[in-house]
């Protein structure tokens, strides 16, 4: 919401923000990784937790290893899709990832925590959204938490300080161009 009048410098406050990148367009994870690199540039500790992505090799993981003193990067999913070989196992792994994420937030050892593709857990009824919202409401005051994924709920967006919706306008896959190394992964 845009303030009706300019905010005076004496009124500016600082706090850990909750950001949500949602929508059907590409770029949600990429936007969160941009914030990761910004925080790392200021010497801040960051934790990235990926709930859905599987163990396949992609560029983010290669880069993450170069910042191991400040960046904790956890790929905790099995590649959860409609083509899963064991949907119940995917759900169990996602619940375990949420328990881990909740612990990371409560431990308060990071300036920023990225919860990549978290929105799918309440959407597919893997985790009750109230549990997620309660943890976010009680997060450490100075910690930034970034949530990505399609289907962000109205409640999550209302709680967030920043919400950006990625809208697909055009995608190379529609022209028969497959995902490319260095761009999509």
Active-site residue 119, yes or no? no
Give the active site residue among 26, 102, 139, 150.
Answer: 26
Active-site residue 82, yes or no? yes
Active-site residue 38, yes or no? yes
- Per-residue CA distances from 98 to 60, 92, 104, 112, 182 (Å): 21, 10, 10, 16, 28
Give the active site residue among 21, 51, 73, 80.
Answer: 80
Active-site residue 78, yes or no? no
Give the active site residue among 56, 62, 66, 82.
Answer: 82
Query: For residue 136, which phi and psi values (nearest 5 degrees)?
Result: -65, -40
Give the active site residue among 15, 24, 108, 185.
Answer: 24
Give the active site residue among 15, 37, 38, 106.
Answer: 38
Give the active site residue among 22, 29, 119, 148.
Answer: 29
DSSP E strand stretches across 87-140: 112-116
CA dihedral 21, 29, 184, 164 (to 10 degrees): 20
Active-site residue 100, yes or no? no
Contact in structure between 36 and 63 (CB atoms under 8 Å): no
Active-site residue 26, yes or no? yes
Give the active site residue among 21, 53, 78, 117.
Answer: 117
Cα–Cα distance for residue pair 177/165, rounded to 1 Å:
24
Rg, Å, the chain Cα set:
17
Active-site residue 73, yes or no? no
Query: For residue 19, which phi and psi values (nearest 5 degrees)?
Result: -120, 145
The contacts of residue 54 (CB under 8 Å, 6+ apart) are 75, 77, 78, 79
Query: What are the catalytic residues?
Result: 24, 26, 28-30, 38, 80, 82, 117
């Amino acid at each position: 919401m845009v303030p009706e009048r300019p905010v005076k410098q004496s009124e500016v406050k600082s706090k850990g923000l909750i950001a949500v990148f949602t929508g059907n367009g590409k770029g949600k994870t990429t936007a969160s990784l941009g914030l990761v690199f910004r925080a790392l540039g200021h010497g801040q500790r960051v934790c990235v937790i990926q709930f859905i992505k599987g163990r396949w090799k992609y560029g983010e993981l290669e880069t993450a290893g170069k910042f191991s003193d400040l960046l904790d990067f956890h790929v905790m999913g099995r590649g959860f899709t409609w083509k899963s070989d064991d949907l119940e196992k995917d759900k169990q792994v996602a619940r375990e990832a949420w328990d881990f994420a909740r612990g990371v937030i409560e431990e308060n050892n990071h300036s920023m925590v990225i919860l990549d593709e978290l929105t799918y857990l309440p959407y597919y009824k893997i985790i009750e959204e109230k549990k997620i919202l309660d943890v976010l409401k009680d997060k450490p005051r100075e910690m930034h938490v970034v949530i990505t994924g399609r289907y962000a709920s109205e409640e999550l967006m209302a709680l967030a300080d920043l919400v950006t919706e990625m809208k697909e306008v055009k995608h190379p896959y529609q022209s028969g161009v497959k995902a490319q190394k260095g761009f999509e992964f």
